[in-house]
Amino acid sequence: MKIIKCKNGNIMMTLKEVEDVSDKVIKSNDVDASFEKHVPQYEINKDTVLVFVNHVMEEDHYIEWIMVDYGDKQIIKHFVPGDEPKVEVDYQDGMIAYSYCNKHSLWVNQEITK
Ligand SMILES: [Fe+2]
């Protein structure tokens, strides 16, 4: 799976691995911004995980979405300014969490473990 920013500003997710894309694959954790304010954090509670981002949710600067990737399925929660950027999901070994800031792009946490 790749997350791609198209020339028109749309963000797309590939449903299978692709070798060549005409648009730009977004690199995660690649913008000069606060790591701790963008990388998804988590709290495990038995079999569920609360994934959240410690980020402002202002009109012009906010987390647009959090995606939890289980490999064979993805869960995406979208946010608007004023929301709390968090989602509670089932825990699974190997799960990965992404967040997307409208100003600072894509961030990932690949180390969600009990
Ligand atoms: Fe940001």
Say how far apart CA 4 and CA 25 lie, in whole Å: 4
Residue 60 CA to residue 54 CA, distance in Å, equals: 16
User: Hey, what CATH class is 28-109 in?
Assistant: mainly beta
pLDDT, tens digit only, all 114 positions of the chain: 778 887 787 888 777 666 666 667 777 888 888 878 999 999 999 999 999 999 999 999 999 999 999 999 999 999 999 999 999 999 999 999 999 999 999 999 999 998
Task: Provide the 8-state DSSP code for 61.
Answer: B
Q: Could you tell me the distance, in angstroms and rounded to a whole number, from the CA of residue 46 to the centre of ligand 1?
A: 30
Cα 103 to ligand 1 centroid, rounded to whole Å: 5
Predicted local confidence at residue 8, as pLDDT: 80
* 29 CA to centre of own chain: 10
CA of 71 from ligand 1 middle (Å) equals 26
Contacts of 11 (CB under 8 A, 6+ apart): 3, 4, 5, 26, 100
